Amino acid sequence: MATRKRQHYVPQFYLGYFSNKPKHIFMYNLKREMHKSVPIKGACSINYFYGKNLAIEDSLSKFEYFASSILRKIQVNENLTCLDEKELINLFNFILFQRGRTEVSQKKMIESADFLYKEALIPMMLNDKKIIEAGITKEKLEKYKLSSPNPILTPLLIHLQSGPLIADLHPALLINKSNTNFITSDNPVILFNPFFNNLQGIGADGFRSKGITIIYPLNSKLMIMLFDSKYYNFSRLKDDFTLKVSKNKDIRRINGLQMINCNHNVFFEDENQIKDIKLQHKELSSKRSSKYVKPEKYKTDDPNKEILHLKNRKYNYNFDLSFIITKENVDKTHGDRDPEFTKFYQEFMKKHFAKKVQK
């Protein structure tokens, strides 16, 4: 049982792709501003992260095993046409699965629940007749928090169900020909919207957002990027979905997103890269935050009602990559790439799970 206690939220096999030493990987901790070689076995793991029910860990391990064969196949062939349709779909699913299973994802869930409890549930309870008669005050209620024994399971389930929501994105495999290696982190899958990111007051990094890109490094020389082809052209993108990147500044800008979005640590293959990693950390430290969710309130025509909105925190970042060309005359109105499909998908999921519950 003790050997199953440490549960990984970034797979060991994946971290191994960024290692040039047996069973070890170089890690840079942003808080301590120090680096060292650490055992892969203990990296990105927490005691009973998915709970003490080991059936969950077993199921995730089976998915990892299947995904590892797909990622290895890409690395051996260095293209995406080596995958059949089923493998490509599962690649998309695994990328979302990885995004939903991290400690950052768990923290977002906890922050969201805390906000909704304070701003929605407490006001509702204070208007309840029984609460009023019991003399329960706002101060008493604020001493409590919403909690779950396994808060990671909700975002994990959401991400596992969301594969169809990104199926329309175009895949590209970036082949790094520069002198700077790709890095990864304890939160390796990044959603970023180059087109809409700088608009104030708008959350533009959802699965269905117009202009979204999804970034997932595979090793120090390969990275998968999914992108909205209605907004971007990738110059030099070949028929096998590969694109060679030779400029160091492009790789540094991609690595910068790992630096901004990681929880505590970034991982890298070559220890000689540490000088640049520390420099980039210094350059980007102001864009990091201890909070991952930005809550907002909007007034309505009814003075007794307001809209509560939760979105991922925003940061201004120059993601001007030499190979990404923004198309002309694109729709500058932020929103869903295909609202009708999203509505269909939501209704389908409701019916599907309603049947599951009835059974």
Distance of CA 153 to the CA centre of its chain: 15
14: enclosing H helix or E strand: helix 12-16
Quick check: 318 pLDDT over 60?
yes
Residue 202 pLDDT:
61
Q: What is the mean pLDDT of residues 98-122?
A: 93
Spatial distance between the Cα atoms of 185 and 47, rounded to a whole number of angstroms: 19
- Average pLDDT of the chain is 92
How would residue 355 be classed by pLDDT, with cut points 50, 70 and 90? low
What are 32-85's pLDDT values in tens digits? 999 999 999 999 999 999 998 898 889 999 999 999 999 999 999 999 999 999
Whole-number pLDDT of residue 86: 96
Average pLDDT over residues 1-15: 86
Lowest-confidence pick of 4-8, 261-265, 283-287: 4-8
| Percentage of residues in the chain having pLDDT higher than 90 | 74
pLDDT > 60? residue 2:
no
Range of the domain at 182: 2-358
Q: Which two tokens stand for residue 3?
A: 């050997």
Rounded CA separation 127/270 (Å): 59
Q: Averaged over 198-206, what is the pLDDT?
A: 73
Task: Determine the Cα–Cα distance for residues 101 and 311; give it in Å rounded to an integer.
Answer: 18
User: Quick one: pLDDT at residue 353?
Assistant: 62
Position 197 confidence tier, pLDDT thresholds 50, 70, 90:
confident
Return the pLDDT at 42: 95
- Specify the pLDDT at position 107: 94
Contacts of residue 248, Cβ cutoff 8 Å, sequence gap at least 6: 178, 179, 180
Q: What is the pLDDT of residue 154?
A: 92
- Band (pLDDT 50/70/90 cuts) for residue 307 is confident
Range scoring the smallest mean pLDDT among 72-81, 127-136, 201-210: 201-210
Mean per-residue pLDDT, 309-334: 89
Is residue 280 within 8 A of residue 255, CB to CB? The reply is yes
Torsion of CA 304, 305, 310, 313, to 10 degrees: -50
Overall number of domains in the chain: 1
DSSP E strand boundaries for 181-312: 184-185, 190-192, 213-217, 222-227, 232-234, 242-245, 265-268, 293-299, 306-312
Confidence band, pLDDT 50/70/90 cuts, at residue 1: very low
Place of tokens 């797979």: 11
pLDDT digits (tens, 9 = 90+) for 135-170: 999 999 999 988 888 899 999 999 999 999 999 999
| 236 to 242, 243, 246, 267: CA distances (angstroms) | 8, 6, 12, 29
The predicted model scores a pTM of 0.91
Say what the pLDDT of residue 25 is: 98
Q: Tell me, letter by letter, the H, E, C secondary structure of 90-146.
A: HHHHHHHHHHHCCHHHHHHHHHHHHHHHHHHHHHHHHCCHHHHHCCCCHHHHCCCCC
pLDDT score for 357:
43
